[in-house]
Chains A and B, each alone.
Chain A
C-alpha cells in the first residue's frame, strides 16, 4: 500500500496531495533556511498562529456576502492579511518597546491564536453548518482536495521558491553581517520584510496540507537538517528545499494509506526523521563524525593551517 502511495498509485486525490505537499515542502525548506540563518525562525510560528483570526474572519465575510465560506482563495487572502498583521505587530513590539523579540513573538502568537479560536467558535455557532473545513486548517486536512486547490498551492510554491532564489544572496549577506550590510547600502529592513512575506506565503499555501500550527516545523526542520551537510548558505537552502520536498512527498504518501492519518503531522514526523539522520550521520558536523574525530584524537572540526 505504501509502495503504491509512493508511486502515486492511490488515485487522483492522493496524487494531487502528494505533489502539492512536495512543492510546499520545497518552498518551505528554501524560505526556512534563510529565516533560520537570520535568527528569525520562530517568527514562522507567530505567522502560522496569526493566520487563524484571518481565516475565521474571511469565512464570516464570504458567508455574509452570500459566497461559499470555504473557498480557498478567500481563506488564503484572509489568512495572509492577519499573518502579515501578526508579523508587523512582532516587528513593532520588538523595535519600539523593551520587549525582546522572543517575548514579542510569544505575545503575538497567543493573542492572535486566542482571537482566532474565539472567532472559530462564532463560526461554528452559525446555522450554515459548513464550518467543518476551518478547524481542519489547524493541522491540515487533505481529504477531498480539489484540483484547483492543488494548482493554487503548486503555483504559490513555485512563486515563493523563485522569489527566494532571486533574493537569496541578499538575504544571506544581511543574515551574516547586518551591520556591514546596512553600511554597504543593502536595504536590510526591506530584505527582512521580503523574507517575512515569503514566510507568510509559505504558511498560507500550507494551510490545507500541513496546517497553521505545524507549518513552522516545515520552515525550521529541513533547514536545521541541511546545515549538518554543508558549509555554504546557498547549498544549505537548496538542500533544505530537497529535504522539505521529500518530507512532503513521503509524508503525504504515508497519510494517504489510511483514512485517519492526518497529513501535516506525518509530514513533520518524516522531516524530523531526516533531521535525526542528518544530525547523527552527516560527515563533518554530525554527532558520529565528531565522536569519531574525538576518539581518533584529531580534535574538533579541522582547523586551517596558521
Chain B
C-alpha cells in the first residue's frame, strides 16, 4: 500500500484504526482494512462482531469514535457522493405510507436537495433502477404489499439510483427467497464487472467463496482480511467464531495454508 491520497489508483475504501459503537463499549475497535477497486468483499463474523456498526460508520450514519475513513483516497466527508448504501431490511417500518417509486427516488437526494421538485426525468431514472432489479411493475405499490425479497430488491434499486462507485450492503440476502438471492447476486456481479466496488455484510459462510472475491473476517477487531483464497481459512473462522461455529464450512482456502 502506498501513501493514502497519493495513490494514482487508491483503494475504493480504506479504514484506518476505526473504533465505533453506541455508549461506552465500542462495538468495533481499531479496525483497519483496505478494499481495492473493482472487488467484492464479504464482511463475516459472529453476532455482535460489529459488522453492521462498521457499515453504518463507513456510510456516515454513525460517527466513529476514533480512526479515519478514506473513500477513493479522499476523506469520507468529501467523497460521500461516491458511496451507496443498502441498509438492513429490518431497519425500517414496512407499514410506512410510502410507495416503491418514492423509496427509490430517495437515492436521487443529491440531485433533488431539500426543496427540489421531483420531475419526470427523476421518475424515469427511478423506474430504470427498478427495472434493473425486476421490480418496475411494482413502482406504484405501497411498500407494505411487498414480500421480503421484493423489499430487498427495492432497497438495491435505491442504491443503484445513487449512481455510486462503492456500494455498502448490510445483509442483502437476509430473509430473501432463492430467486431474489440469485437476482441480487447477478446485479452485484454486473456492478463489479463495471469496475465498481462492493462490500457486503454476509451471514452464509457456505456461499462466501461462490459470491465474493475478498473477505474481511471481523470479531470487534479484524481477524483476517484479503482474497477469499488466502484469508477465508478454517483457522481464521475458528478464531473469529470461537466455539460457536457449528461445523466449519469446507472453506476453499485450506490449500493456501
The answer to whether A and B assemble together is yes
- Please give the residue numbers on chain A whose beta carbons come within 8 Å of chain B beta carbons, in ascending order: 37, 98, 166-167, 169-170, 172-173, 175-177, 179-187, 227, 230-233, 235-236, 301-304, 306
Inter-chain contacts of B141 with A (CB < 8 A): 304
Interface of A is mostly: helix
Question: Complex Cα distance A175/B110, Å?
Answer: 18
Q: Which residues of A contact B61 (CB under 8 A)?
A: 179-180, 182-183
Most chain A CB atoms below 10 A, which of B92, B93, B106, B146: B106
Of all chain B residues, the one with the shortest Cβ separation from A174 is B106
Does B211 count as interface, using CB distance less than 8 angstroms? no
Flag if B97 contacts A227 (CB, 8 Å): yes
Among the stretches B30-38, B83-91, B195-203, the one at the interface with A is B83-91
| Docked CA distance A8–B208 (Å) | 72
Name the prevailing secondary structure of the B interface residues: mixed
User: Would you mind naming 19 contact pairs between A and B with Cβ atoms under 8 Å apart?
Assistant: A37-B96, A169-B118, A172-B98, A176-B103, A179-B61, A179-B85, A180-B61, A182-B60, A183-B60, A183-B87, A184-B109, A185-B81, A230-B97, A231-B144, A232-B97, A232-B99, A304-B145, A304-B150, A306-B147
Given A177-B92, A184-B109, A301-B144, the answer on whether A170 and B114 have CB atoms closer than 8 Å is yes
When chains A and B are docked, how far (Å) is the Cα of A303 from the Cα of B141? 10
Question: Among the listed B83, B102, B106, B145, which residue makes an inter-chain contact with A301, where contact means beta carbons less than 8 Å apart?
Answer: B145
Assembled-state Cα–Cα distance A73/B102 (Å): 41
Q: Shortest distance in angstroms between B167's beta carbon and chain A's nearest beta carbon?
A: 11
CB of B125, distance to nearest CB on chain A (Å): 15
A212 to B118 alpha-carbon distance, docked (Å): 37
Query: Complex: how many Å from CA A183 to CA B99?
Result: 21
By a CB distance below 8 angstroms, the chain B residues around A184 are 85, 106-107, 109-110, 162
Other-chain residue from A166, A180, A302, A306 in contact with B85 (beta carbon distance below 8 A): A180
Contact A231 B142 (CB under 8 A): yes
Q: How far is the CA of A184 from the CA of B138 in the complex (A)?
A: 23
Chain A residues within 8 Å of B220, by CB: none
Q: Which of B103-159 contact A (CB under 8 A)?
A: 103, 106-107, 109-110, 112, 114-115, 118, 138, 141-142, 144-147, 150, 158
Bound: A233/B80 CA distance, A: 28
Is B12 an interface position by the 8 A CB rule? no
- Smallest distance from the beta carbon of A207 to chain B beta carbons, Å? 30
Q: From residue A250, how far is it (CB to closest CB) to chain B in Å?
A: 26
In the assembled complex, the CB of B83 is this many whole angstroms from the nearest CB of chain A, namely: 7
B184 touches A (CB below 8 Å) = no
Q: What is the number of residues of chain B that contact chain A, defined by CB distance less than 8 Å?
A: 37
Q: How far is the CA of A176 from the CA of B162 in the complex (A)?
A: 17
Q: Residues 56-71 of chain B: 1 if any A CB is under 8 Å from the residue's CB, otherwise 0?
A: 1001110000000000
Beyond contacts A185-B80, A187-B114: 18 other A-B pairs, Cβ-Cβ < 8 A, are A37-B96, A172-B98, A176-B92, A176-B96, A180-B85, A182-B60, A182-B61, A183-B56, A183-B61, A183-B87, A184-B106, A185-B81, A186-B109, A233-B96, A303-B145, A304-B145, A304-B146, A304-B150
Which residues of B approach A to under 8 Å, CB–CB? Answer: 23, 56, 59-61, 80-81, 83, 85, 87, 91-93, 96-99, 102-103, 106-107, 109-110, 112, 114-115, 118, 138, 141-142, 144-147, 150, 158, 162
Nearest to A179 among chain B residues (CB) is B61
Q: Which residue of A lies closest to B63 (CB)?
A: A182
**Chain B residue at minimum C-beta to C-beta distance from A231:** B142
What chain B residues lie within 8 Å of A98 (beta carbons)?
23
Q: Which of B60, B91, B118 interacts with A177 by CB under 8 Å?
A: B91
Contact B106 A179 (CB under 8 A): no
Contact flag A185-B115 (CB < 8 Å), given A177-B92, A180-B158? no
Cα–Cα, bound, A167→B115 (Å): 7
- A170 CA to B99 CA, complexed, in Å: 15
Contact A173 B145 (CB under 8 A): no
Which one of A167, A177, A184, A302 has the greatest number of beta carbons of chain B within 10 Å? A184
Verify B146–A180 contact, CB threshold 8 A.
no
Q: A183 touching B115 by the CB < 8 A rule? A: no
**Once bound together, how far apart are the Cα atoms of A303 and B146, in whole Å?**
7
- What's the Cα separation between A231 and B99 when bound, in Å? 8
In the complex formed, the residue of B with least CB distance to A186 is B109
Closest to A172 in B: B98
Q: In the complex, what's the smallest C-beta–C-beta distance from A198 to chain B, in angstroms?
A: 15
Q: Considering the chains assembled together, what is the distance between the CA atoms of A186 and B106 in angstroms?
A: 10
Given the known interface contacts A231-B144, A304-B150, A306-B147, the answer about A179 and B91 at a Cβ–Cβ threshold of 8 Å is yes
Alpha-carbon distance A183/B107, docked complex (angstroms): 10
Q: How far is the CB of A64 from chain B (nearest CB, A)?
A: 42
The minimal Cβ–Cβ distance linking B174 to chain A, given in whole angstroms, is 16
User: A303 CA to B138 CA in the complex, in Å?
Assistant: 12
In the bound assembly, the distance between CA atoms of A75 and B91 in angstroms comes to 43
Chain A positions within 8 Å of B109 at CB level: 173, 181, 184-186
What residues of chain A lie closer than 8 Å to B142, measured between beta carbons?
Answer: 231-232
- Residues of B within 8 Å of A227, CB to CB, are 97
Question: Chain A residues near B96 (CB, 8 Å)?
Answer: 37, 175-176, 233
Q: Tell me the complex Cα distance, A236–B103, Å.
A: 16
A185 to B87, alpha carbons, bound, how many Å? 15
Q: How far is the CA of A231 from the CA of B143 in the complex (A)?
A: 9
Known: A181-B106, A183-B60, A304-B138. A37 touches B147 (CB 8 A): no
